[in-house]
Amino acid sequence: MIEIVTAEADFDVFYRTTRHRVVTTLYALTGDLGTAQDAAQEAYARAWQRWSQLADYDDPEAWVRTVARRICLSAWRKARNGYKAYRRHGTAPPAGAPGDDTMALVAALRRLPTEQRVAIALHHLLDLPVAEVARETGTSVSTVKSRLARGRRTLSALLAEDLTETEEVRRA
């Protein structure tokens, strides 16, 4: 127990005496204080996990700086690769406006009880088997089957009602 307390105290002293220098160095390298602070925080967290080994290093601060620089470099590469992919593929074509059928279906789904709506969405929109829907919702297979049957019956009635109203509007 005394050894753990000593290790914590040693790390606390190390952190307090080196943090400002590490963050300042990273800020100078990245030009972004938030990125510098995030990288330093991650590097110190990794140092804490290895403190029993790092405490014996001649310069554990150099290890933290190296890890933090690599974290910054990795973030920069990720951003650069994302930008390259964006330039290569361009933006996605704009999605068209939803059709009347989609609007009617969404409106009808909103009128269903939540349990039925969830069961229908998971089973019919995500193509999950009934057993998987049951597992995901924490209910029995028979409950899911019941919710699906009731939900489809209600949807059918709601969509038929909407279709009738739409036709009446068109005639007028």
What are the residue ranges of helices labelled H in the chain? 2-30, 33-49, 51-54, 60-89, 100-110, 114-120, 130-137, 141-171
Higher per-residue pLDDT: 169 or 61:
61
Q: Tell me the whole-structure pTM to 2 decimals.
A: 0.50
What does each C-alpha distance from 5 to 12, 15, 49, 103, 148 come to in angstroms? 10, 15, 15, 63, 58
Rg, the chain, Cα only: 29
Q: Rounded mean pLDDT of the chain?
A: 89
Arithmetic mean of pLDDT, 87-96? 81
Burial of 69 (0-12, 13-18, 19+ CB in 10 A): middle
Phi-psi region for residue 139, left (φ > 0), alpha (ψ -120 to 50) or beta? beta
Higher per-residue pLDDT: 86 or 32:
32
Arithmetic mean of pLDDT, 61-66? 95
pLDDT tens readout for residues 143-156: 999 999 999 999 99
**Domains identified in the chain and CATH numbers:** 2-89 (1.10.1740), 100-171 (1.10.10.10)
**What's the first-to-final CA gap in the chain, in angstroms?**
85
Higher per-residue pLDDT: 159 or 37:
37
pLDDT(71) > 60? yes
Q: What percent of the chain has pLDDT over 90?
A: 62
Model confidence band, residue 169 (pLDDT cutoffs 50, 70, 90): low
Higher per-residue pLDDT: 91 or 117:
117
